[in-house]
Structure 1
Amino acid sequence: MSLQPDADEVDRIILKALANGPRTPYSDIAEQLAAEGHEMSSEGVRHRVSKLLDRTSIFFLLEPDEHEWEIVRLAIRVTDDPDAKATALEEISEMPFWLVTRGVGTYDVYAVASAATNSRVDELVTAVTELEIVESVDHSTETSRHTNVDDYLSAGQRD
């Protein structure tokens, strides 16, 4: 989920409530808002949620240790060939990764996938490594996660 710079305190409270419980009734969110000094009806919350969904990309991830799969993260460096980053992004996007992004810094492309077994993790890493434009691949398998929604939603609000 990526907030626009114009997100306000009400937006953050609503998004935090939904992150903690995606099925939270709007009336409960309205009560949370009132407890924090923001009067809003259930219908007002519904309207705000609708507007937020138009401006955000929501991606709630299930905890990997609660399921029968692994989450593998790849950090990929590509060759210095012209258009190597764009080509890698395109080719890896056609593989079974659910998130593929270009980066700036140490790595050129990042990819994330879910895999049922460690051997499937190895297959995914090997498939990316074998691309001609790929120079190297570092990867890790996520086994647990701690997510602090307060820190995420307050990003950009700190000095």
Structure 2
Amino acid sequence: MLKVQEIRELIRLIDQSGIDEFTYESNGTKLVMKKNQMVESKISRNQQPTVIEAPKKPVEEKPEQRMNDKQSVKVSPQEEQQNREKEKQQVETNDGDYHKIVSPMVGTFYRAPSPGAEPYVKVGSKVTEKTIVCIVEAMKLFNEIEADVKGEIVDCLVEDGQLVEYGQPLFLVKTE
């Protein structure tokens, strides 16, 4: 038989976890806990079941729900990224003389050598064939990516921390 303190501890642990439902059986005692619902303790020894109400968390309102009708609707991050990609594709198709620095592997793109550090290159930076422009992390290895052309960075096509695919354009360079 569980003690009251043990049941309280279980309720606290379940409340803090991502578990929605918990069942415990021992020596003819069955304890069932469900988040945001009633939690029951059923005892099979001709005793009345004990009902314990689990603490309810307040439902947080999302910022979009608080907006009034006069404000403009916010664009989701995915739609924002798609809009940026379309704009960049238009730049690429309008000016075919830009060189694309592409990712040589699948991984995570980083513009700087460490968090808080200055990026390797910015729009307007002059680069040579050996200039490091970014890092792509793959399998816990940080791979420095070189420009491989001489010119000026025109655009960075990827956000810091974004996953990139093999052959995905990272930068546009106006070659000299």
Question: Which TM-score band (shorter chain)?
Answer: under 0.3
Larger radius of gyration: 2
Higher relative contact order by CA 8 Å / sep ≥ 6: 1 or 2?
1
Structure 1 or 2: more strand by fraction = 2
- TM-score normalized with structure 2 length: 0.22
Q: Which structure shows the bigger proportion of residues in helix conformation? A: 1
